[in-house]
Amino acid sequence: MRKQDNSSQSRLCNLGYNAKEFHFIALSVNQINKNMKDTQILIIGAGTAGIMVASQLLKKHSKAKITILDPAEFHYYQPAWTLVGAGTYDFEKTKRPMASLIPKGVTWIQDFATEIRAKEKQVATQNSGTINYDYMVVAPGLIMDTSLIEGLSESLGKGVVCSNYTDPKHTWEVIKNFKGGNAIFTQPTTPIKCGGAPQKIAYLAADYFKKHGISNQSNVVFATPGGVVFGVKEIKQSLEKVILNYGIHFKPHYAPIKIDGENRIITFKQVNAGDNQCVINENNVLKEKLSGDSVIEMPFDMLHIAPPQTAPKFIKESDLVNEAGWLDVDIHSMQHKKYPNIFGLGDVAALPTAKTGAAIRKQVPIVVDNLIQLIDKQQLGSKSYNGYSSCPLVTGYGKMILAEFDYDSNFTPDPKLKQMLIFDSSKEHWRLWMLKKYILPYLYWEKMMKGENV
């Protein structure tokens, strides 16, 4: 008696399918089974972008198996560091254990990424071996590279050389102990996160000096490689008035190239100066020594600097970057230009807009929607990022301007501000200060970090 054949092929043949048709059906079944498996999504970085993407993905895609790779023990709300540096916010309130923010259901690998092998869909780590993925979201932020300015590594964080980007508590000590002379605030030629931060602390320091009666003995200098104080017309006009009211020396086209912390001298090189004219106080306390090739030496009694910033080494050494060394993604879809299963956002992405948490707030839903559509339908969604970013420009204690803009530098204020009785956020307002100090931190911790759109 012939033994009964219960194989899938036999059953299909009994139903009238030939071998060729069986081969097609078998492939389809295998594809279905493959699709039913959990999709492996790797997120590099547990900063604002990484946590938000993971939180929103969990809510919208039950089949996604999400892994976050990040070595940090703590997560910081860095937008408040400007206020910490001015003595009006508690540093400890900007800090929470990373473990408390990793969404439930997400695997956290507390380790460093060392290499991305995009063709193999793998990421090498320092201690945890190789991680495989189906899709990847790259959001590691950026790093401070003090080696790009001569003398900065040796000077930063010592004496009167400070930075809110690295130690805002030290900045506050320097401001409190300042007794007069040259207080210089500057930034590098590289892109930086929160591009308005170097001037915000300048305004707060100028206000502090004014309140403590040392303005007449002080020269506050804001020196920037850029040609304007801000690229949005409405904001620029308001900030020029702020600069005038404080008597700040605005130095456009000044790129810092060397710091001598011991002798308290900073050297700038003028870049793209054009018709720029230097402004020097009549009392001549601010002295600039001009040498050849438009190199300027300036003494200081306080120096606040934003360090040069770049993508992390494992990003720069990958084939994911553009010529400038930033993650090469489409500026509207956030999808990588070479590898369609990779998306990138946040500070590491090559986007022609400001690197801020507010920008990330608008980028995350675009990435999440496009990623889900790609997983489920093998095509991108219809949502598109327009370059929105926001910079809360604190202009003094109890005063702020809110710059909101898009890729084209259009001023795009949020209509919800009218609910706070703020009808022109390009002008200084005390209610905007309240937004910065109290409302935004709450929204960050209790809404954004929990995957809610705000």
Q: 396-422, pLDDT tens digit by residue?
A: 999 999 999 999 999 999 999 999 999
Is residue 194 annotated as part of the catalytic site, yes or no? yes
Q: What is the pTM of this model?
A: 0.88
What tokens were used for 87?
């003595």
In a 13 Å sphere around the CA of 37, the CA atoms on its Cβ side amount to 10
Q: What is the pLDDT of residues 427-436, one digit of tens each?
A: 999 999 999 9
Mean pLDDT, range 357-363, rounded to an integer: 97
Q: Which of 14-23, 63-72, 78-87, 97-106 has the lowest mean pLDDT?
A: 14-23
Mean pLDDT, range 112-141, rounded to an integer: 98
In terms of Cβ atoms closer than 10 Å to its own Cβ (0-12, 13-18, 19+), residue 259 is buried
- Per-residue H/E/C for 173-187: HHHHHCCCEEEEEEC
Please enumerate in sequence order all residues whose Cβ is within 8 A of that of 162, keeping only pairs 6 or more positions apart, or say none. Answer: 85, 156, 170, 171, 173, 174, 302, 303, 304, 305
Mean pLDDT, range 76-85, rounded to an integer: 98
Give the pLDDT band (50/70/90) at residue 454: confident
Q: What is the pLDDT of residues 142-199, one digit of tens each?
A: 999 999 999 999 999 999 999 999 999 999 999 999 999 999 999 999 999 999 999 9
Is residue 162 annotated as part of the catalytic site, yes or no? no
The confidence score (pLDDT) of residue 272 equals 79
Annotate 181-205 with DSSP letters as a single string. EEEEEE--SS--BSTTHHHHHHHHH
The confidence score (pLDDT) of residue 37 equals 66
38-40-41 Cα angle (round to 5): 130
Catalytic residue (one of 13, 162, 278, 391): 391
Is the pLDDT at 451 greater than 50? The verdict is yes
Please enumerate in sequence order all residues whose Cβ is within 8 A of that of 31, keeping only pairs 6 or more positions apart, or say none. Answer: none
Please enumerate in sequence order all residues whose Cβ is within 8 A of that of 443, keeping only pairs 6 or more positions apart, or say none. Answer: 454
Q: Taking all residues of the chain, what is their mean pLDDT, rounded to a whole number? A: 90
Annotate 66-99 with DSSP letters as a single string. EEEE---SEEE-GGGHHHHHTTSS-GGGGEEEGG
Catalytic residue (one of 13, 162, 194, 278): 194
Four-residue CA torsion sign, 404, 406, 409, 410: negative
Q: What is the pLDDT of residues 20-73, one digit of tens each?
A: 443 333 333 334 334 436 899 999 999 999 999 999 999 998 778 999 999 999
- What's the full length of the chain, in residues? 454
The confidence score (pLDDT) of residue 351 equals 97
Q: Give strand pairing partners of 41.
A: 66, 135
The confidence score (pLDDT) of residue 286 equals 59
What tokens were used for 5?
């054949």
Q: CA 103, CA 112: separation in Å to the nearest integer?
A: 19
Burial 231-247 (b: 16+ CB within 10 A, else e): ebebbeebbeebbeebe
Q: What is the pLDDT of residues 252-288, one digit of tens each?
A: 999 999 999 999 999 999 997 543 333 333 333 456 6
